[in-house]
Structure 1
Amino acid sequence: MIESNQLLFFFSALGVFNGFILSIYFAINAKKKNFTNYFLSLLLLVLSIRIVKSVFFFFNPHLSNIFIQIGLSACVLIGPFLFLYLKSYKKDEKINWKKHVISYLAAITILGIFYPYVEHRAIWSNWIVCAIYLQWFIYIVLSFKYLRPIFTKIKEKESLKRIDVWFLSIYFGVAFIWLAYSMAAYTSYIVGALSFTFILYLIVLLLIFKTNSESTFFNEKEKYKNKEIDKETLDLIDQKLSVIIEKELFLNPNFSLDEAAKELKVTKHILSQYVNEVLGRSFSSLIKEYRIEKAKKLLETETNYTIENLGYDSGFNSKSAFFTAFKKTTGLTPAEYQKSYLK
């Protein structure tokens, strides 16, 4: 029994130790590469503080009350840092981190001063902790909207970037830890700590076994740093790109970056860099735009075809993919667009 407890302590504490190490690593990495990694660093930090409290309290029920209060208070920042980390990758959204961090930090500090855990354990157990877990859950729900483009890719059977897999891992990891603590009354208090260790090592495996050295999980935008395309090549691609439209190559539902590069007689890497840096979008987004423009023309001229068939004729491989992309781009469904044009 003693040996099993020692193993339990070892594995639960191992996640905490590595969580602190990774938090430091991402904080240092943020200075060199990407400011958004500060949010990831702080997310791991507050998670680790929460988990270390669980570990020591489980094995030492007489743990100092102030330590318990700090551990529980850290939970109030887990949701906000998850939200801010995912949001920080959206180019068109401003990050008002003070509203999401300072306000909650001030609130939990004031509560801690006027209702210290040592004197008000019942209030903390029955009210404050429940409110913290509710706030954590609300932020998990709010953060989901930043994963919608990834789920759209999955639905449309598009290949995911490594950064997409990374975001999914972080999001569902935090959500699973929240669930583990919420269900602790029906399972065991140590489940949350063990979940953190398990999830942390799954995420680390993503780091270790990544195969593409040209991109990183943490800074997809720096993929082409120090590899500028010369002006002659830029002009050449700019001229040749119209070939995709002229030949309507995008009507092939399986038209890929490889095929486009071969058609334009440039390397796959150069074409991808051009589309990302010069046009400011991904290759799949560019092709989707071409298909939407084709769909618009068909909707304006063809009235005997079903809208679903027009989607297939525009290069989309499914009805849902066509409707989703069209509504996202135009703000209207295909039927609404056709109706407004024919008025």
Structure 2
Amino acid sequence: MNIGQQILFFVSALGAFNGIVLSVYLLLGKKKRSVPTIFLITLLLALSIRVSKSVFLYFNPSIPRIYLQIGLSACFLIGPALYYFFRSVQENVTKIPTSWKWVWGILLGIIILTGSILPYPAYPAIWNNVIVYIIYLEWMIYLIATGFVLKTVLKTFLVNRSALNSTDKFRLLLYTGNCLVFLAYLLSLANIICGIYIIGPVLFSFLLYLSIFYNLQGARYENGLPVKSEKKKIAAPDAQVWIEKLETAIREKELYKDPNLKLNDLAKIINISVHQLSQLLNDNLGKGFSTYINEYRINEACRLITTNDHLTFEAIGYEVGYNSKSTFYAAFRKIKDTTPALYKENIS
């Protein structure tokens, strides 16, 4: 190898090696791993194995064919790992659902059965002309599905990039990086661009180091994503964007009227983590979730008291989201420092 090839080998191989090291660190670094972390570990391992196979095949085409089978088998898990990583983050999953376990059981079963019945060393033509295309089709389908999971972030990026916070930027980095790695391999498979095969490993190395650099700039990983430190307020520009999203969602959808509304429900609706929403309310607005929602409910109750004489106070309480008359009265007194009856009397 000349000096250029040596540098290329070093960069791509080091990225693959560090990806494996990072996944092992995430696996062994904590006694209790969150669901997103489990899928992130799977994603890193699958990518690292796939990239390692690419590096050694590119610089040594005579490597044993069993390694080609291992690399392509790992490739079959990249798309699903990315998809379920983002779904588990978006939906704040704390326990892997049974349906997800079935999907992964089927995927692993396909890999084991295919590798046992049709091993690459014995059936290279089937792998190169059929199985590899099935693998890339499955990878593409999961990439598209992941795009739908991230549609809010992608739309925000296209419409107003300044509205993206650090978490959104990391999501875009991870998603677009995986898309670029897939595209590099797809173009190589289709023989559209000569020599692009090694670009996949190089892109992976770049993505990995950029993610690490991003983390070292002050963000930390929590449930698989970087968020700002708990001791600091969300930056004013980011906070203002989230506050506007929050208020718009609550007003337009009248979310406060749902008596079962929870913090995590509201976080999902505006596409923010539960931790960040809690931090936004407590640190930036100076009030807890319960107080924030009660203010909307009581303001709506005051409007109904003023404009609807035929409604009883109890009916108004149920209308604005309370499950009982006593809870409504207690919240009204806390927010308005009076009772509904006295409030109506003073208005009259």
Is the CA contact (8 Å cut-off) linking 1:140 and 1:175 kept in structure 2?
yes
Q: Which residue of 1 aligns with 2:182?
A: 178
Whole-angstrom distance in 1 between the partners of 2:56 and 2:207: 20
Is the CA contact (8 Å cut-off) linking 1:29 and 1:37 kept in structure 2?
no
TM-score under structure 2 length normalisation: 0.62
Q: Which residue of 2 aligns with 1:13?
A: 13
Letter in structure 2 aligned against 1:187? C
Q: Which residue of 2 aligns with 1:208?
A: 216
Match of 2:289 among 269, 278, 287: 278
Q: Which residue of 1 aligns with 2:27?
A: 27
Q: Which residue of 1 aligns with 2:244?
A: none
Is the CA contact (8 Å cut-off) linking 1:163 and 1:216 kept in structure 2?
no
Unaligned runs of 5+ in 1: 228-244, 246-266, 298-343
Q: Which residue of 2 aligns with 1:164?
A: 168
Whole-angstrom distance in 1 between the partners of 2:4 and 2:226: 43
User: Which one scores higher on RCO, CA 8 angstroms, separation ≥ 6?
Assistant: 2
Displacement of 1:279 after TM fit?
5.2
Distance 1:30 1:67, change over 3 A: same
Whole-angstrom distance in 2 between the partners of 1:273 and 1:45: 41
Q: Which residue of 1 aligns with 2:61?
A: 61
Displacement of 1:26 after TM fit?
2.5
Distance 1:31 1:169, change over 3 A: farther
Whole-angstrom distance in 2 between the partners of 1:76 and 1:58: 20
Displacement of 1:80 after TM fit?
0.5
Displacement of 1:18 after TM fit?
1.1
Q: SS at 2:35's partner residue?
A: coil
Whole-angstrom distance in 2 between the partners of 1:13 and 1:198: 12
Displacement of 1:179 after TM fit?
0.4
RMSD value, Cα: 3.5
Letter in structure 2 aligned against 1:139? Y
Q: SS at 2:174's partner residue?
A: helix
Whole-angstrom distance in 2 between the partners of 1:273 and 1:115: 61
Q: SS at 1:89's partner residue?
A: helix
Q: Is the aligned partner of 1:3 residue 2:6?
A: no
Letter in structure 2 aligned against 1:149? T
Q: Superposed, which structure 2 residues align to 1:65-80 within 5 Å?
A: 65-80=65-80
Distance 1:105 1:216, change over 3 A: closer
Unaligned runs of 5+ in 2: 233-246, 248-278, 304-348
Letter in structure 1 aligned against 2:167? I
Q: Which residue of 2 aligns with 1:119?
A: 122
Q: SS at 2:89's partner residue?
A: coil
Q: Superposed, which structure 2 residues align to 1:1-343 within 5 Å?
A: 2-28=2-28, 31-32=31-32, 34-91=34-91, 95=97, 96-154=99-157, 155=159, 159-184=163-188, 185=191, 186-188=193-195, 189-210=197-218, 218=224, 224=230, 270-272=282-284, 278=289
Q: Which one has a bigger Cα radius of gyration?
A: 2
Whole-angstrom distance in 2 between the partners of 1:49 and 1:196: 11
Is the CA contact (8 Å cut-off) linking 2:36 and 2:223 kept in structure 1?
no
Displacement of 1:100 after TM fit?
3.0
Q: Deviations over 1:103-141 (max 9, x none)?
A: 111112111111111111111011100100000000000
Letter in structure 1 aligned against 2:224? F
Letter in structure 1 aligned against 2:183? L
TM-score under structure 1 length normalisation: 0.62
Displacement of 1:102 after TM fit?
1.7
Q: Deviations over 1:171-230 (max 9, x none)?
A: 1111110001001122322121111112222222211223x67x85835689659x9xxx
In the alignment of these two chains, the number of paired residues is 246
Q: SS at 1:119's partner residue?
A: coil
Distance 1:27 1:274, change over 3 A: farther
Distance 1:67 1:61, change over 3 A: same
Distance 1:192 1:92, change over 3 A: closer
Is the CA contact (8 Å cut-off) linking 1:26 and 1:37 kept in structure 2?
yes
Displacement of 1:30 after TM fit?
5.6
Letter in structure 1 aligned against 2:180? F
Whole-angstrom distance in 2 between the partners of 1:158 and 1:178: 28
